[in-house]
């Protein structure tokens, strides 16, 4: 760099205006950090107390009783204000405590406010209280990597997204060795309580930690976190205790804003089908909320596909002696046909474009994929157990993995054993693209789950869609509708009579249809000429009018796609005001549970689906929620994931509006513009649309 250039740059950087617009902080960030979320009424009192509510019951799994004998006895706790406590109460409430907190699993917007509220409540009770943050997730507990959180550090992260304050990690405390190290860490730090912020697996960990450390007097409280929205809790009578985990609303709004932008783009240049894959491995809550937020033309809901029944196959089985098992479940082939139908119908009215939303785990509910996952997971788990080795380390290449599976099938056939992988499996597997074969044989995640986020779900589905569209294009089932006025104008401009050519070119010309469809027999310029010659509109030696050729070429759709994945961007988004308020009150709930002596409880807000004035902070016992589930080829006691309820008002609304949002009719599409995430304002959204609809659906008018 020359001396003159260096002098210029240094002078530029020295200007106050340059420094002002390039500093990390900015007015919007400052506004976020200084915002104080409203508190539930109960937290406006200086002191709170918990009381068990016997009205809420849980169906306890026998295995939970065996493994968590102390924690299954817990009851739902209501948090109540106490205005005139006695001296013993206030002394216990205000005694010095050391509380540890850890983030576990993927980030979710709002987590910092759990820490901020816990910090505020703890310091208000006793300025000498200490809040310790375990760094990098559960590894921080195992390895005693901890930092004391100061007011300055907490204030720097208030109302901000991500888990940057103490980071996060995906390690599970799932072995006796890890449990012993964690217990040792908590005892060395003289912890009174440990707070675990995470999803279903993390709260499962919290229950086991609570059981393990109960004798040491160390309390453990869980906090429901996951953008997937699959941590939802009901009691044995179906009453909603926790309607949604935190972070869901922000992620859904973040995805929706971006997908809405694609809807606007689609409506502008009418050129692409935008294929939008959104996070959601097991549950399609995010896809459902995105559909409500954007009115995308098509949205797949995994739980809906899982319940699909082929009526034709079922009817055929009733007239034969065979059981109609094949009628149940969605196949890849049929799914591609469903998508193609929507594409073809929109093209018929001139819309060779659209927006399709796909949950990342949709392939998990596809019939043949389910079979492959179960069989391959069993084969891999059995190999690891039998050979005391790691399948994925032993067989690095796809070819080697497939050779082992096929050799195993051959040996089992020879021995007359259970044929877990047969020739039919081999044929179906060979039909799948190689990259997806590799995906099915990839290493499972830390929880033993198939990693759908690593598979190009959209590529698998849209590959089959494109193949079928090519077939439909040849049979003229897939044609771009031609606007009648455009056709008339173009032919008249070139001196050609549109009335003479119309009935010859189009199958619906006499129907007064707004969009005209080329006749089925016209599939090429050659058949176009034959039709025109047969109608005696041109002679054998004459050229086809240029306007007619242009109309034909315009009727042949060019299917173009743009693929998008929405996941990590939503996890790191700045939280909505709803999530800021929700998580702050969760943090206050955590402290109330700790000072009451609770352990093995999940902090939650009941009535989350209702107006803020009706929110009720509670503690939900974790152990009674747990059940046995297959993990890594073995049964394990875990917290159950909550899937989309196909009987819920929210899903039924989406189902009712599918045809409207597909907009396979002339005119504008019915897109909804949710707008960007804002932090304040009278028009800011107060809660997820899913929750609003489910609450409205509980009214007497709807129930009746």
Residues taking part in catalysis: 228
Phi then psi dihedrals of residue 365, to 5 deg: -95, 0
- Whole-number Cα distances in Å, 100 to 19, 174, 195, 201: 38, 19, 6, 19
Nearest 10 degrees: Cα torsion 275, 278, 281, 282: -90
Q: Do 197 and 104 form a contact (C-beta atoms < 8 A)?
A: yes
The Cα 514–Cα 520 span in angstroms is 18
For 398-525, strand residue ranges (E) read: 482-483, 515-516
How many other C-beta atoms are found inside a 10 Å radius of the C-beta of residue 6?
Answer: 10
- By the 10 Å C-beta count (0-12 exposed, 13-18 middle, 19+ buried), 269 is classed as exposed
Tokens 């901000």 correspond to what residue?
160
Q: Do 636 and 608 form a contact (C-beta atoms < 8 A)?
A: no
Of 659, 443, 467, 658, nearest in space to 559 by CA: 467
- Whole-number Cα distances in Å, 556 to 41, 525, 549: 63, 11, 11
The Cα 406–Cα 416 span in angstroms is 15
Q: Could you please report the per-residue DSSP string of 142-186? A: HTT-EEEPPHHHHHHTTT--SSTTT--B-----SHHHHHHHHHHH
Q: Do 619 and 254 form a contact (C-beta atoms < 8 A)?
A: no
Q: Could you please report the per-residue DSSP string of 276-324? A: EEES-SS--HHHHHHHHHH--SEE--HHHHHT-B-HHHHHHHHTSSS--
How many other C-beta atoms are found inside a 10 Å radius of the C-beta of residue 511?
Answer: 10
The Cα 673–Cα 660 span in angstroms is 16
Of 161, 126, 119, nearest in space to 33 by CA: 161
Q: Residue 469, CB half-sphere, CA atoms under 13 Å: how many?
A: 25
């Amino acid at each position: 760099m020359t001396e003159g250039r260096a002098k210029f740059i240094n002078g530029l950087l020295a200007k106050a205006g340059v420094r002002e617009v390039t500093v990390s902080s900015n007015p919007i960030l400052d506004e976020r950090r200084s915002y104080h979320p409203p508190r539930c009424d109960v937290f406006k009192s200086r002191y709170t107390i918990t009381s068990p509510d016997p009205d809420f019951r849980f169906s306890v799994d026998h295995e939970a009783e065996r493994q968590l004998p102390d924690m299954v006895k817990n009851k739902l706790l209501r948090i109540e204000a106490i205005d005139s406590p006695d001296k013993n109460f206030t002394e216990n409430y205000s005694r010095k405590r050391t509380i540890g907190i850890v983030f576990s699993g993927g980030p979710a917007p709002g987590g910092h406010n759990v820490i901020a509220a816990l910090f505020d409540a703890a310091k208000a009770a006793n300025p000498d209280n200490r809040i310790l943050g375990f760094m990098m997730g559960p590894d921080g507990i195992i390895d005693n990597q901890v930092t004391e959180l100061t007011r300055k550090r907490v204030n720097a992260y208030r109302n901000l997204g991500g888990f940057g304050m103490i980071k996060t990690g995906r390690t599970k405390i799932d072995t006796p060795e890890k449990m012993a190290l964690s217990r040792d860490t908590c005892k060395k730090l003289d912890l009174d309580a440990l707070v675990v912020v995470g999803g279903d697996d993390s709260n499962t960990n919290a229950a086991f930690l609570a059981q393990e450390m109960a004798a040491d007097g160390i309390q453990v409280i869980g906090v429901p976190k996951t953008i997937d929205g699959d941590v939802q809790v009901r009691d044995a009578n179906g009453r909603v205790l926790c309607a949604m985990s935190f972070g869901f609303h922000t992620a859904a709004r973040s995805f929706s804003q971006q997908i809405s932008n694609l809807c606007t783009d689609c409506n502008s240049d009418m050129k692409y089908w935008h294929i939008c894959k959104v996070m959601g491995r097991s549950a399609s809550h995010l896809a459902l909320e995105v559909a409500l937020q954007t009115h995308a033309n098509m949205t797949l809901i995994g739980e809906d596909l899982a319940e699909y029944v082929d009526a034709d196959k079922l009817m055929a089985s009733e007239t034969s002696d065979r059981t109609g098992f094949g009628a149940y479940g969605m196949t890849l082939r049929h799914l591609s046909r469903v998508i193609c139908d929507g594409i073809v119908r929109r093209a018929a009215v001139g819309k060779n474009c659209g927006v399709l939303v796909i949950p990342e785990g949709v392939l998990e509910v596809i019939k043949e994929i389910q079979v492959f996952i179960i069989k391959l997971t069993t084969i891999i788990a059995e190999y690891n157990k039998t050979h005391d080795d790691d399948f994925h380390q032993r067989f690095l290449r796809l070819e080697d993995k497939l050779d082992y599976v096929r050799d195993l099938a051959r040996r089992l056939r020879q021995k007359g054993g259970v044929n877990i992988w047969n020739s039919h499996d081999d044929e179906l597997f060979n039909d799948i693209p190689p990259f997806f074969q590799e995906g099915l044989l990839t290493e499972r995640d830390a929880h033993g789950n198939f990693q759908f986020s690593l598979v190009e779900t959209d590529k698998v589905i849209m590959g089959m869609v494109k193949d079928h569209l090519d077939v439909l294009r040849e049979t003229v089932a897939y044609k771009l509708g031609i606007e009648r006025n455009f056709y008339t104008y173009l032919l008249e401009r070139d001196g050609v009579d549109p009335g003479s050519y119309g009935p010859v070119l189009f199958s619906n010309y006499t129907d007064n249809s707004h969009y005209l469809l080329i006749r089925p027999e016209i599939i090429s310029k050659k058949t176009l000429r034959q039709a025109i010659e047969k109608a005696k509109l041109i002679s054998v030696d004459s050229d086809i009018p240029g306007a007619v050729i242009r109309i034909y070429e315009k009727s042949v759709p060019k299917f173009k796609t743009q693929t998008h994945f929405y996941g990590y961007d939503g996890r790191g988004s700045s939280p909505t005001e709803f999530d800021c308020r929700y998580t702050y009150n969760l943090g206050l709930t955590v402290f109330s549970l700790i000072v009451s002596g609770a352990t093995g409880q999940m902090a939650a807000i009941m009535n989350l689906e209702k107006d803020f004035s009706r929110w009720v902070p509670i503690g939900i016992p974790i152990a009674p929620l747990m059940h046995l589930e297959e993990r890594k080829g073995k049964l394990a006691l875990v917290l159950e994931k909550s899937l989309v309820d196909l009987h819920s008002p929210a899903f039924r609304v989406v189902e009712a509006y599918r045809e409207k949002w597909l907009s396979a009719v002339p005119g504008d599409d019915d897109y909804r513009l949710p707008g960007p995430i804002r932090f304040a304002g009278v028009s800011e959204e107060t809660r997820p649309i899913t929750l609003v609809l489910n609450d409205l659906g509980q009214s007497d008018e709807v129930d009746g």
